[in-house]
Amino acid sequence: MSSYSYVKCVWAFYLLSSWVPTLWFAQGADPYLPVKAVNLGNWLVTEGWMKPSLFAGIPNQDLLDGTQVQFMSTKLQKYLCAENGGGTDVVANRTSPSGWETFRLWRINESTFNLRVFNKQFFGLENQGKGNKVVAVLNSPGNSETFQIVRKNDDGNRVRIKASNGLFLQAKPGLVTADYGGSGWDDNNPSVFQMKIVRTLQGEYQITNGYGPDRAPQVMQDHWNAYITNEDFRFLSSNGLNAVRIPVGWWIASDPTPPKPFVGGSLKALDNAFTWAQNNGMKIIVDLHAVQGSQNGNDHSGTRDGFQEWGDSNIQDTVAVIDFLAARYANNPSLAAIELMNEPLAPGVTLNDLKKYYKAGYDAVRKHTSNAYVILSNRLGPADSKELLDFARGLNRVVIDVHYYSLFSDMFNNMNVQQNIDFINNQRASDLSAVTTSNGPLSFVGEWTAEWAISGASKEDYQRFAKAQINVYGRATFGWAYWAYRCAQNHWSLKWMIENVYINLSSS
């Protein structure tokens, strides 16, 4: 875009706006931009894959909230099925399992669960427990929707399911009833099922509810205290980083007594981060990573069972979280930006709902500060990367966040090293330039990593791949943030990458 039209747009903005023009001209001129940042992932919002050992002390740790299970009757060799996906009877006559034969656990304690079906109803006894036929009709679970999963001692996937009436479920072809009083584990026993776990979740909900109210507060506090300290901020600032993006969950706004199973203390940890940032000349991007209802169904959205349910009815509460964070940190010199929501997923999060929320969230931040940037994450999934640009042009000091991983898509599976690097230099450069406009929001590659779908690559391959990304993402006008700082998988850990000289930011 020519400098002439840039001046024209700025002038038009000045005429239309009540902001003093210096604020507008300050955009892009902040000395810390573009940021070189890292995501403090798995600190205040848990993601099990980044530190699996954190889950190791949970009893029955493979049966956490959101675990998806299937049950095959050993006698009938048929699967339990919520007929029609839910809303009517549970049957036991399917030869192969799919969506209707898959159930999501809500964990009550280590052996007691609710089971949520495809259409979101819960397994239960008919007439709220007055009968013994198993149905899936209620949308919220009560006592008659509560089942104990009894595992065989020497084979944890051989189970019997005890209902609230004290009797076990037994499979009959067109019917499942809770009326079996016998015992035993024989194949011929109609109350014995082969359980298959087909998906697990390991997020904040799973770890806090997994440890339960007696143990979770201490486990989380120990994790928060040890995972990130002032020393980490010192390490980052002395290695060429100048900002951190900190994922937080919606429950932080009701600290110290968030709704169960979440536990208090993450707010104090975030306060500490602001102190450490100030000590070390770093900026902070507060990123609302998990919203009530879940914006993408992923572990890191704080979801209980993986259903994506954030929508219009959650906007007000989510804005209240932003308002809380903005009020608390608006005047802190280390605050660079507040990100309103991480990775909303299309089409479940509609563009309409998202814009409505982004406008209200933006206004909530602006009530407290005209200076902090407001970051709008692009939608993942089938969505146009430019869909927020026009909307964002009407706002001041806003940023579009895009996440560039050379993973999570089959298209990367057959790329060699050079093809991966070419992809960054060509495709990603072009993707980024499409969202980097001279008269619009700033651009931010808020997540990227030097891991890829290649195994056995050399150190030099990784160095070249990282360098190509740093070079291209360095063109983002707000900057970039590596995912992540600490991670059990080395290439995802910027700390490990710096210490082992895969990445050297002092030279770039």
Ligand X SMILES: *[C@@H]1O[C@H](CO)[C@@H](O)[C@H](O)[C@H]1NC(C)=O
State the catalytic residues.
Answer: 343, 447
State the nearest-atom distance from the C-beta of 59 to ligand X, in Å.
8
Q: Is 109 in the site for ligand X (CB under 6 A)?
A: yes
**Euclidean distance between CA atoms 139 and 137, whole angstroms:** 7
Q: Is 506 in the site for ligand X (CB under 6 A)?
A: yes
Nearest to 480 by CA among 505, 507, 453: 505
Can you tell me whether residue 33 is helix, strand or coil?
A: coil
189: number of Cβ within 10 Å: 19
Q: Give 137 or 345: the residue with its C-beta nearer to ligand X.
A: 137
Can you tell me whether residue 22 is helix, strand or coil?
A: helix
State the nearest-atom distance from the C-beta of 146 to ligand X, in Å.
6
Say if residues 48 and 299 touch (Cβ distance below 8 Å).
Answer: yes
**Quick one: tokens of 10?**
């700025």
**Euclidean distance between CA atoms 115 and 121, whole angstroms:** 8
**Quick one: tokens of 453?**
């779908």
**Which residues contact residue 352 at a Cβ distance below 8 angstroms, ignoring those fewer than 6 apart?**
none
**Euclidean distance between CA atoms 328 and 335, whole angstroms:** 10
Using CB under 6 A as the binding criterion, the count of chain residues that bind ligand X stands at 14
State the nearest-atom distance from the C-beta of 125 to ligand X, in Å.
15
Contact positions with ligand X (CB under 6 A) in 57-86: 83
Out of 10, 13, 112, 425, which residue is the one contacting ligand X (CB under 6 A)?
A: 112
Say if residues 248 and 301 touch (Cβ distance below 8 Å).
Answer: no
State the nearest-atom distance from the C-beta of 172 to ligand X, in Å.
9
Q: Is 352 in the site for ligand X (CB under 6 A)?
A: no
State the nearest-atom distance from the C-beta of 427 to ligand X, in Å.
28
Nearest to 178 by CA among 156, 146, 153, 141: 146
Tell me what percent of the chain is helix, strand and coil, each rounded to the nearest 5.
35, 25, 40
Q: Give 119 or 439: the residue with its C-beta nearer to ligand X.
A: 119
Q: Give 385 or 504: the residue with its C-beta nearer to ligand X.
A: 504
Cα torsion 473, 420, 40, 376: sign: positive
State the nearest-atom distance from the C-beta of 358 to ligand X, in Å.
39
Q: Is 463 in the site for ligand X (CB under 6 A)?
A: no
Q: Is 254 in the site for ligand X (CB under 6 A)?
A: no
State the nearest-atom distance from the C-beta of 504 to ligand X, in Å.
4
**Which residues contact residue 316 at a Cβ distance below 8 angstroms, ignoring those fewer than 6 apart?**
none
The amino acid at 271: D
Out of 9, 76, 87, 110, which residue is the one contacting ligand X (CB under 6 A)?
A: 110
For the chain, the maximum distance between any two Cα atoms, rounded to a whole number of angstroms, is 85
Q: Give 243 or 503: the residue with its C-beta nearer to ligand X.
A: 503
Nearest to 356 by CA among 316, 410, 404: 316
Q: Which residue is nearest to ligand X (CB)?
A: 174
Q: Give 213 or 333: the residue with its C-beta nearer to ligand X.
A: 213
User: Which range, of 42-50, 107-115, 334-342, 479-487, touches ligand X by CB under 6 A?
Assistant: 107-115
Out of 174, 181, 184, 456, which residue is the one contacting ligand X (CB under 6 A)?
A: 174
User: Which range, of 88-96, 98-106, 131-139, 246-254, touches ligand X by CB under 6 A?
Assistant: 88-96
User: Which range, of 91-99, 289-297, 358-366, 474-482, touches ligand X by CB under 6 A?
Assistant: 91-99
Q: Is 501 in the site for ligand X (CB under 6 A)?
A: yes
Q: Give 110 or 179: the residue with its C-beta nearer to ligand X.
A: 110
Out of 33, 50, 63, 91, which residue is the one contacting ligand X (CB under 6 A)?
A: 91
**Euclidean distance between CA atoms 405 and 462, whole angstroms:** 14
Q: Which residues bind ligand X (CB under 6 A)?
A: 83, 91, 93-94, 108-112, 174, 501, 504, 506-507
